[in-house]
Structure 1
């Protein structure tokens, strides 16, 4: 058995450096791509559907495969899968860097998503299984802080590269980061695996989930240009619906399902995940559109458009711990009701972002209110997800919630722009995009408020007090705080 590492030692710092660099690379990529979308769309001749696929090409395999990759790490070795994920992500980044057209770019983003799915659960699983139990909270907290820094500087890095050079550089920077990460990992990170892992991998479930998400995503995005009466759109949506239904059947019959249906028997767990669906769906769409809107309609440079949302990250970093502590004292119901409603108010305040207004008078207030709503929502949500199940299921509960958040963002980015009338080249027309952006904000606000209503009615068991959980601030724009690995 591998000797546990004590926090604060030289080896501990190397392990933290490796896991934070790998995860930070993926989080950095997530923030810089949004900033670069207008420039990428211009050079690759992409319409709104193209921009959606640049985002969703990454989110699709990430959402579908993240649970399966955790099982692979358990069986084949967590360090091994982490290294494979980092190398895969770097190679995919090179494909994105040299992409001559939109099709190759989307292919590169799909490959990046597979790499992200391989490395994301591995980074925290390594911390959970290599550090001494008494030091795991400190290790995960340090990891969260370091990766949050990557997410925070992403808009500045991405915007600076886009404004001064080329958007292609945002992918190229992943290569040296990956080389350093792999070298540190191979030299300083011990290999661990779950020697008791039994049963076959749920490959059928992963395949059906991927087909379902892909069919729905392709159908919804294509409907923006072709219309819902188009045969290809109808066939894609039908395949997606049938595959999702098949996924439910497969998971019920699978002896070792990657998404155990029984875990949803707990009302609090199901309620928290329903809140995740609507809140992260609203958040993913709004952040996808607002950075593009600031550049195309208000004339912001890429670096300032990306930095516009930075106050949200700062609020998450500074206040998430306090929000988690408050939820432990009074329960999650009130914070998770008030938080989404505040988020909805933030979206509605964004309706005041129009050409000619200043950042301080229009953008900043909406971002601050949205950030406060996130603070009140995210830490209690994570605590509820983890405390609603037995301790030995905490890892899979966290993984399920993470996958649900990714899937919600995936579907929302595909569906909401169509519902708002943002299709074709409308994002290049400030007036048309402005009208669609306003409709999208109303939809996002309604979804966020629905999250508050769901929380009020599903988290009302005052006797079910959340178990003590370490609350670590994380980049809410990417996913819920992944506080525990699969092996917690």
Structure 2
């Protein structure tokens, strides 16, 4: 089976059914990050409903992320073997049913089960959506298409706490009802194409040295750059005295900048090459992280943290573009994404204790780790030039 390559951006010409499928392809990038973060701002309300503490209610975040990251190690290869269209359709249906389970959850363990099913289902959408974009997008425009997809992911992550908080004014359960409706709509939209049959690999075929280099880079750089919002929040409270709402507003700049610069990021990847784009994003991002940790001016910290959002997008889009240009695009990007989120999960365990010992060192350590990782792993050998 071959797939014709052509323009695959929302609003592109063609049959209306295809335009809907293309729009759904990109919109699918919104659902996963939104589902993962939607409970982050309503933990007290969830805890109050089930008579548990907000700390225990935070398990609703872990219940989503653990199966999401664990299954994504193999979901790309399995989904490519089963067929992207079929797999994504089933995943959206399961996600919708899991969201309904969260809506009607009568005990906290039932809510956790629904969250775990959501995370498991989403692990079978993201890598296959990325592989589909690569299959039907001309190579010279791949960066722009991946940048658009990344902007939808940033939008989901940025708006989730706000939507969850607004829903909680009536009931936090309404946020899950909305997620269910969106998942059903995406299932109806479908995919514009399946990746070619020859791109459907075995489970082990993606575990190459090349893929592991990309995945290792994503794990360290995202954990030390894109995943540091909790550390920035600590400093905003301790050094500048910001309230929780003020901290949340400033941190939103990270996602907003990622959305606003999506097309520019894609253009940059297409014109300078994905490896160079990821390397520049990581090195400049390392400098930004160090400055965020030491500058005494609140406005400067806010501006730099927003810039970190754009730079992290350059890294993510660059790494995805490299992974998707290999022989096993679905499996490779699946491994890269899985380790990226693993880095975000491990990051607080590494840097929060260090912050309590030395706040400045807690920012300098991830900055150094980011720069060194980019210099060592993002070399020309075995990766696309540029």
TM-score over 0.5 for the pair? yes
Equivalenced residues, count: 374
2: CA distance between counterparts of 1:180 and 1:48?
32
Partner residue, 1:344? 290
Q: Give the C-alpha shift of residue 451 in structure 1.
A: 1.4
Partner residue, 1:454? 373
In the alignment, is the contact (CA less than 8 A) between 1:273 and 1:385 conserved in 2? no
In the alignment, is the contact (CA less than 8 A) between 1:20 and 1:147 conserved in 2? no
Deviations 1:201-222 (A, max 9, x none): 64xxxxxxxxxxxxxxxxxxxx
In the alignment, is the contact (CA less than 8 A) between 1:323 and 1:375 conserved in 2? no
Q: Give the C-alpha shift of residue 174 in structure 1.
A: 0.8
Q: Give the C-alpha shift of residue 165 in structure 1.
A: 1.9
Match of 2:187 among 182, 186, 197: 182
Match of 2:102 among 93, 96, 105: 96
Q: Residues 320 and 139 from structure 1, CA distance in 2 versus in 1: closer, same or farther, beyond 3 angstroms?
A: closer
Partner residue, 1:372? 307
Q: Give the C-alpha shift of residue 439 in structure 1.
A: 6.5
SS in 2 for 1:260: coil
SS in 1 for 2:39: helix
In the alignment, is the contact (CA less than 8 A) between 2:64 and 2:118 conserved in 1? yes
2: CA distance between counterparts of 1:387 and 1:25?
24
In the alignment, is the contact (CA less than 8 A) between 2:222 and 2:343 conserved in 1? yes
Deviations 1:150-204 (A, max 9, x none): 4443343233223x2222222221121122222222xxx45636534778x64xx
Q: Give the C-alpha shift of residue 146 in structure 1.
A: 4.5
2: CA distance between counterparts of 1:373 and 1:314?
11
2: CA distance between counterparts of 1:281 and 1:131?
29
Partner residue, 2:334? 399
Q: Residues 281 and 334 from structure 1, CA distance in 2 versus in 1: closer, same or farther, beyond 3 angstroms?
A: closer
Q: Residues 285 and 39 from structure 1, CA distance in 2 versus in 1: closer, same or farther, beyond 3 angstroms?
A: farther
Match of 1:192 among 191, 194, 210: 194
In the alignment, is the contact (CA less than 8 A) between 1:32 and 1:155 conserved in 2? yes
Partner residue, 2:175? 170
SS in 2 for 1:33: coil
In the alignment, is the contact (CA less than 8 A) between 2:324 and 2:333 conserved in 1? no
In the alignment, is the contact (CA less than 8 A) between 2:155 and 2:255 conserved in 1? no
Q: Give the C-alpha shift of residue 120 in structure 1.
A: 1.5
Q: Residues 21 and 390 from structure 1, CA distance in 2 versus in 1: closer, same or farther, beyond 3 angstroms?
A: closer
Partner residue, 1:432? none
**What CA RMSD, in Å, does the superposition of the two structures yield over aligned residues?**
4.1
Partner residue, 1:4? 4
**Structure with the greater alpha carbon radius of gyration:** 1
SS in 2 for 1:192: coil
2: CA distance between counterparts of 1:179 and 1:385?
27
Q: TM-score, normalised by structure 1?
A: 0.63
Q: Give the C-alpha shift of residue 407 in structure 1.
A: 1.3
2: CA distance between counterparts of 1:105 and 1:286?
27
Correspondences of 1:32-431 after superposition (within 5 Å)? 32-47=38-53, 50-130=56-136, 139-162=145-168, 164-185=169-190, 189=191, 192=194, 194-196=196-198, 202=203, 257=204, 259-263=206-210, 270=213, 273-283=215-225, 286-288=228-230, 299-301=243-245, 306-316=248-258, 317-318=260-261, 320-321=265-266, 324=269, 328=273, 331=276, 333=279, 335-348=281-294, 362=298, 364-380=299-315, 382-383=317-318, 387=322, 391-393=326-328, 395-413=330-348, 419=353
Deviations 1:126-154 (A, max 9, x none): 33445677776665455444454444433
SS in 2 for 1:126: helix
In the alignment, is the contact (CA less than 8 A) between 2:6 and 2:137 conserved in 1? yes
2: CA distance between counterparts of 1:26 and 1:466?
29
Unaligned runs of 5+ in 2: none
Q: Give the C-alpha shift of residue 66 in structure 1.
A: 1.5
Q: Give the C-alpha shift of residue 308 in structure 1.
A: 3.0
Deviations 1:57-108 (A, max 9, x none): 2111111112422222222221111111111111111222233443333222
